[in-house]
Amino acid sequence: MRTITCANSVCSAVKGKACWPTFAISGSVIPSTQADDLLLGWCRQHRPDFFPLAVMAVEARCMADAEYVPGESARTRLLWADILHSGRLSPLGRSFVDSLFYKRKAMAWANSRLSTQGEPETPLLDLYRTAEQVVLEAFPKEKPFFRLLIRLEEGQSCPLEALITQALSSKIAMKPGDIRDKKELAEELRLAAEKKLSSEAKTEAPRQTESGGVMKIMKIVGLIALIVCALNRFFHFF
């Protein structure tokens, strides 16, 4: 009932972005066909590059078979084909869908355009890389997947990213060694973030000092100008 109520509120708000977080979280708790359709419709309109991944998340949640691999259903492939030919996907999104349509074997990951196209490291790229490996049954235990889990655990994921990450993680078995590697990566990312903040602070300090020095010079120049002006007025009387 809660899911349907939330879904109706999204309809009333014309699928506004402000309604998304509540809708996504509620929809992930109680499955609803109406909620799923609204989620996919919102995603297709506002975040098209997340749409193929959202389709996978919905499919993974609806399938009761734990051994089922997302991406196999006719509905999913139809939705992927539709968004692929809509012209709304970025090159990264098109590469993802193309890879899953035409490279169905696990070894295809090694030659996938998605893994070699030199995209900057972003949560979206991590989602795509992990999702492709899941569909190809490569079952990833690499940094992209670990970064997603770390973001999810630390509350850094947006609701849409969190929904997709949870769906993907349900298809990946984490062993003790994987958990250890994830913890090591989390510590590595924490230290890198601290180093970046420290570097930015050191860069900012000279700028502030330089700015303060310029202000002092301007004040001195202004004071001299006032003195000269006062002297000119004084000598004007003689």
51 near 83, Cβ under 8 Å?
Answer: yes
100 — pLDDT class (breaks 50, 70, 90): confident
Greater confidence (64 vs 12) lies with 64
> Average pLDDT, whole number, for the chain?
74
Q: What is the mean pLDDT of residues 108-126?
A: 69
Q: Which residues contact 124 (CB under 8 A, 6 or more apart)?
A: 49, 50, 92
- Cα 71 to chain centroid, rounded: 21
pTM score, whole prediction: 0.68
161-204 confidence digits (pLDDT tens): 999 999 888 888 777 777 788 888 888 888 877 887 777 666 66
- Is 65's pLDDT higher than 70? no
Cα(106)–Cα(30) distance, integer angstroms: 32
110 — pLDDT class (breaks 50, 70, 90): low
The rounded percent of the chain whose pLDDT value lies above 90 is 18
Q: Cβ atoms within 10 A of the Cβ of 146, count?
A: 23
18 — pLDDT class (breaks 50, 70, 90): very low
Region of 63 please: left (phi>0), alpha (psi -120 to 50) or beta: beta
How far does the chain reach from its first CA to its final CA, in angstroms?
A: 93
Greater confidence (211 vs 229) lies with 229
